[in-house]
Amino acid sequence: GLHSDPARPVTDATRERALRLVRALRLAFGAAIEDDSRYGDLLAGIGALETMRAADPALRDLGPFSMDLFERAAHAGGQAGPATDAYRDLLDRAADAVHRQPGAVLSDFVTLPHVTAAARRLGGLTEQELDTEAARVLRLGNGPAAVGAPERARLFWATVKVLEWESRTPDPDALTGRILHLDRPDPARRPELLDLVAQAAAVGVDVDNPTELGAFHLETLGALAPRTQLLDPNGVPTGRRWSPTPPNAAPTTLTDRVVVAAPQQGGGYRAVGQERPPWSAPGGSPAYLVWAGGGRDHLLMTLPGGFRARVPYDEVAELLARDPVLNTRPQDTTDVVLAVPKAAPAAATGPAAGGTPDTDPQAVVSAGTGRTVWASQGSVSLAPTGPSRPYVPSLLPSAPGRPAAADWAA
């Protein structure tokens, strides 16, 4: 057991370890497991597992017992069948191993190659180096000073997960282009990709989903930072500015009107009027603008720091689903407006040549955010309503004289 001296009181640390094991059993088997006739055996087994972990010099200093460890130990042999059977088998074997060999350690009892590899990698660092690495991978704003035991444990499991990802991904180098938003794959950038995967794993991103990884890459570059916010005249955020504007430009923005433009002689465009857009209703919630270049097949994202790349709309949807500002707005009343040129399809979409789905950006972003999404067939940007006046969406209709409302679709 975790407490072997009846003459001494149980310490708070031992009590916390025991509660952690009880929680792990509930997570693995369900809350009703405590009514199981073999619950005592399961407790003994998980206690034995924890005893082996705590006795293991390679693992004992890299965080407490966790579900990450429990899951990997249960499935270390690639057992088929229900997960609960794998957990029961593991705990039976653990209890027997400790009974037969009281000094057994976990890494001898079960083979966990990526766990032990991560332990070796981090075990070679000094305490200062470990805290610096944790602060970097976990992207802690206060640096190493913010690192404690929980952060070191998160670093350890992020390291395990990136090693696992690399081993099961057929060609990581081929993913550098898509996930790091390069023109083409670049094997020399694999370390950067693996670093990104570790950071993503640390915050719960599905590292086997390239869309989530790509969106997370954009987030690390500042796509959701305050510098990309559009603000109304009162300083309230009204959207995201992913357009190639001057780095210090921070125009105030309104969403309750649209400037209609028309070509003028000699080139260029002129404003010919203003209209109330179809997403604006008296007393309704302001829409959330996404201002960027691009078109129907991609969004052209420009970020502070000089990043500029084509971004697929599934990553745009994932980014907006993670947007901390948008997530504070009511989902059923806050529409998203893609202020992106010609992002709306001219007709109903269907399979393209070769059977590839012809994707509608509105449908993709709406599915990813659960919100109504507006886009236009015309050329859209943001433009000021006058000198020193707020910016509003500006539309060059897809056909001369066409009403602005007819050019927007949701």
- Tell me the pLDDT tens digit for each residue of 208-253: 999 999 999 999 999 999 999 999 999 999 999 999 765 556 678 8
Whole-model pTM: value is 0.89
pLDDT in tens, 364-397: 999 999 999 999 988 888 887 777 788 888 888 7
- Written in H, E and C, the secondary structure of 136-165 is HHCCCCCHHHHCCHHHHHHHHHHHHHHHHH
> How many C-beta atoms surround the C-beta of residue 247 within 10 A?
12
The yes-or-no verdict on residue 406 having pLDDT over 80 is no
Q: Which of 78, 17, 9 is nearest to 49 (CA)?
A: 17
Query: Across the chain, what does the average pLDDT equal?
Result: 89
The answer to whether the CB of 385 falls within 8 A of the CB of 247 is: no
DSSP code, position 287 = P
Among 15-29, 54-68, 101-115, 278-292, name the one with the lowest average pLDDT. Answer: 278-292
| Rounded mean pLDDT, 167-186 | 96
